[in-house]
Chains A and B, each alone.
Chain A
Amino acid sequence: AGPGAAGVGPGRAGVDAVSAPAQGGGSAVIDMENMDDTSGSSFEDMGEMHQRMKEEEEEEAEGEAGAGEEEDGEFLGMKGLRGQLGRQVADQMWQVGKRQASRAFSLYANIDILRPYFDVEPVQVRARLLESMIPVKMINFPQKIAGELYGPLMLVFTLVAILLHGMKTSDTIIREGTLMGTAIGTCFGYWLGVSSFMYFLAYLCNAQITMVQMLSLLGYGLFGHCITLFVTYNIHFHSLFYIFWLVVGGLSTLRMVAVLVSRTVGHTQRLILCGTLAALHMLFLLYLHFAYHKVVEGILDTLEGPNMPPFQRVARDIPVVSNAVLNTTAKAIALTL
């Protein structure tokens, strides 16, 4: 019992040093020098456990409140030490893992990358909206394009909302997909797809424009589309639509084209870029109107009689739609005149 008691003294002090920080909330320091105490013979371990049990009883007899917390950790003997070692290691690994994960997250999922593109004032947005309808005259000097994404994003969402309204009032039946999905897909697809395509063409034609600027330019060009569709989805006159298409659509297209021309050198390149953009922009407006809009069917029925098949619009059959609609338009104009 003598050597056992003497041997257990420093061992117990070592255990105290390990257990106290563990109770105090996860210190990373493990007192490693006392680990070897437990790797001896089983006699030493038994002696240690026995000694500790006696000392625990003594402490409980004295009624110390502070020893209660130490009991959990230190009473388990050799297993207790390993358990604490295991716990410390697990705790450390958890901390390291958490640090790494949060660092990776803050690096890749950082929305602050986009923050400078949203740094606008409402006055600026309003000014840019109005400017998008005014073609610039000076095409020999590169025009400034603001690389801002708030306005274009809001305009795309507004277009989605207007499109939904138009599709619903015209009872469009979408075969594969949903109304909302089609609207969002169309508008975002146009904005992102045509921007990328124009950026690619601009790269080929050596135009001075960045991707964000292209996105911004095309996005603000959708303002004309929004106005046109908002008006003509509610007032169903095709002549009105054609006027709006030419005037409003034409103005916003002219502005985009002028800005692009000012940033390109060379006649062929200018022609390619501007022709493509003008064609795509105007045709998109035409598509949006005819694919998702109600034809004035009442006139069709009264003029053609009952032998005309009921007209069912599917978003994909554009030639059929445009033929029938052109016929109807002609008749409508003839009727009103």
Chain B
Amino acid sequence: FPGLADVSISQDIPVEGEITVPVGSHSPDEDYSTLDEPVKDTIMRDLKAVGKKFVHVMYPRKSSALLRDWDLWGPLVLCVSLALMLQGGSADSKDDGGPQFAEVFVIIWFGAVVITVNSKLLGGTISFFQSLCVLGYCVLPLTVAMLVCRLVLLAGAGTVSFIIRLIVVGAMFGWSTLASTAFLADSQPPNRKALVVYPIFLFYFVISWMILTFTPQ
């Protein structure tokens, strides 16, 4: 190879360098950092997220925080506490006159799933778990109503208490429906909002009915 005999590389041109590909922004170190933190931090972070969502439900503004980071802790806690409070409300002790724990649990979750599937079939843009999250969190006013009903029933079960309970449950039912509608109806095409609102209305109506007809032993 005569042409290559006089190839020379001058000393000041660098022929060395990095061959490694720069690592992307998502480095695995980020994920490991939350694994090493103390448990208290993790729990506090989750509790704060749940608490923030509760505040969003009680004062429904058009914010997307409830939708963006969905979690099902809040709905689970609310569902379990509501089911526990609704227990033991049977007039007949040997048969089940009142809703059992499993019944309430199944109603809430099955109802939420049906509403979610319905809203997706009607062309909604919200995802499955986001919708479950919103519906579960909006049970909060009804849980508060249940608490109030139980306290009122401690004082006696007459007509006056029934009227008080009716007003309280009715108000909370309206609040629940409005709150969940504020979050869910936006994800629908504008002319079909009524089609999505009606099952939500029915769902919270059934839960309110269970709360209102609760009579302790």
- State the A residues within 8 Å of B (CB): 20, 23-25, 66, 69-70, 111, 114-115, 117-122, 125, 150, 153-154, 157-158, 161, 164-165, 168, 171, 173-175, 178-181
Contacts and interface: CB of A to CB of B under 8 A. Distances in A.
A168 B213 contact: yes
B18 interface: yes
A207 to B, nearest CB: 28
Contact of A69 (B20, B106, B195): B20
7 contacts: A20-B21, A23-B23, A118-B118, A150-B121, A153-B118, A158-B202, A178-B99
Contacts of A173: 92, 95, 97
B198 interface: yes
Nearest to B104: A180
Task: List the 6 closest pairs (A to B, CB-CB), nearest first.
Answer: A118-B121, A122-B194, A66-B20, A24-B21, A168-B213, A178-B103
A153 B199 CA distance: 10
A118 B202 contact: no
Given A25-B24, A161-B206, A171-B91, A179 B99 contact: yes
B19 A20 contact: yes
B45 interface: no
Contacts, number: 74
B195 A122 contact: yes
A20 B20 contact: yes
Most B CB contacts (10 A, CB to CB) among A154, A178, A181 go to A178
A165 B209 CA distance: 8
Nearest to A153: B118
B27 to A, nearest CB: 10
Contact of B99 (A115, A158, A180): A180
Interface in B78-125: 91-92, 95-97, 99-100, 103, 106-107, 114, 117-118, 120-123
Contacts of A164: 206, 209
A154 B106 CA distance: 19
Contacts of A115: 121, 123
Contacts of B117: 111
A115 B118 CA distance: 9
B191 interface: yes
Contact of A154 (B21, B199, B209): B199
Contacts of B23: 23-24, 69
Contacts of A174: 95-96
A121 B194 CA distance: 9
